[in-house]
Amino acid sequence: MFDFSKIASVFSWIKNFFDYLGASREEPPPGAAFLSSPWWLGIWWGLLIGLVLLFCGQTSKFIYIDF
């Protein structure tokens, strides 16, 4: 009913996509070369900075640091 290998390769692509967005992967996945353009980088940074500014008012400690 389901082509499991196809589903697995889709998941793999999604993982690589998010890994590239998170900068833990150097190259974008196949078909997502647009992610390496300066325009996309600017949009992505803007979104991240916006999220940080929107949510940074909370009291915040890192769990593993404050043993």
Partner 1 sequence: MIFNSFAYFILFLVPAAITFRLVRPVAQPWVCIAFGGSFFVFFSLTQIGGAFGAACLLIFVWETIFSRFYRQGSLLCFVGIAQTILFLIVFKYWNFLTGLAFGAPRHNPLYWAGAFLPLGISFFTFEFIHYAVDRYRGTTPAGTFSEYMAFILFFPTMVAGPIKRYQTFLPGLREPSLEWAADWRVGMTRILVGLAKKFAIADLMTAFTNHLNHADIARAQRWVLPIWLLAYGVKIYFDFSAYSDIAIGSARLFGMKVPENFDWPYARANIAEFWKHWHISLYRWLLDYVFIPLGGSRCRPPRVLVNLLLTMFLSGLWHGAGLNFIVWGLWHGMLLAVHRTWSKWRGEPKSPPSAAGTVAAWATTFVTVNLGWAFFCMDLPTATFFLKRLFGG
Which positions lie near partner 1, rule CB under 8 A?
2, 4, 7, 15, 21-24, 26, 41, 44-45, 48-49, 51-52, 54-56, 58, 60-67
Cβ proximity to partner 1, 24 vs 30, nearer residue:
24
**Alpha-carbon distances, residue 60 vs 21, 46, 49, 53, 55 (angstroms):** 24, 22, 17, 14, 10
> Closest approach of Cβ 30 to partner 1, in Å?
19
> Closest approach of Cβ 9 to partner 1, in Å?
13
Q: 23 in the Ramachandran plot: left (φ > 0), alpha (ψ -120 to 50) or beta?
A: left
CB 20 within 8 A of CB 29: yes
> Closest approach of Cβ 48 to partner 1, in Å?
4
